[in-house]
Structure 1
Amino acid sequence: MSNDLRGLADLDRLIHEPARLLIVTILSTVASADFLFLQREAGLTKGNLSAHLSKLEEAGYVKIEKTFKGKLPLTVCKLTAKGQKAYTVYRQQMQSFMDKTS
């Protein structure tokens, strides 16, 4: 394996998974997002989104708050400082890889 490709082995695999990358990317552009917004924007099923959010929450990358809007339940998600840092590092690593291989 060439040196240029070795950088891929260092990527954060939690973020690198396509659905989670999409979720983290969306959350990096907003202060917070409710579950239905994330579901719509990411094009994921409720169960799939919930499973990916749980993994991101376990890693400390996403904070999830369950509250109510009137009488309706509302789940609000936001990227934590740790999650923002991990996403920034991931993007820098990917950019560096692309620069070296193009």
Structure 2
Amino acid sequence: MSGWLDTVIHAPSRLQICAMLDAAAEIEFGTVQESLGLSASALSKHVSVLAEAGYVSQRKAARDGRPRVWLRLTRQGRAAYRDHVAALHAIIGRP
């Protein structure tokens, strides 16, 4: 619902994950981990919360002969993230 803060996204690390994913089609798990300075287990927990809400999907694929996980916002996740950002802007009085 537009105008409301989304408690799933609002946690700082999850907000950062969504912001990164909103700017790209998909990003490799390790890139997100390194950029945010999170442990693999912490990032995995945040991604699980976002995935359970239907906001993030994961794709497993090999890269350089090693298994990798790629993350992307779903259509629902992108809409929820943008609504959340709009609600934050409304709180601070910015369009």
Q: TM-score, normalised by structure 2?
A: 0.91
Does the residue aligned with 2:68 lie in a helix, a strand or coil?
A: strand
Q: TM-score, normalised by structure 1?
A: 0.85
Q: How does 1:78-89 map to 2 (within 5 A)?
A: 78-89=72-83
* Distance (Å, rounded) in 2 between the aligned partners of 1:67 and 1:30: 17
Matched, 1:17 2:17: no
Deviation, structure 1 residue 70: 4.6
* Distance (Å, rounded) in 1 between the aligned partners of 2:74 and 2:85: 16
Does the residue aligned with 1:30 lie in a helix, a strand or coil?
A: coil
Q: Which runs of 4+ in 1 moved over 6 A?
A: none
What residue in structure 1 maps to residue 44 of structure 2? 50
The AA in structure 2 aligned to 1:78 is R
Answer with 1 or 2: which has the greater Rg: 1
What residue in structure 2 maps to residue 4 of structure 1? none
| Count of aligned residue pairs for this structure pair | 92
- The structure, 1 or 2, with the larger RCO (C-alpha pairs under 8 Å, 6+ apart) is 2
Gaps of 5+ in 1: 1-6
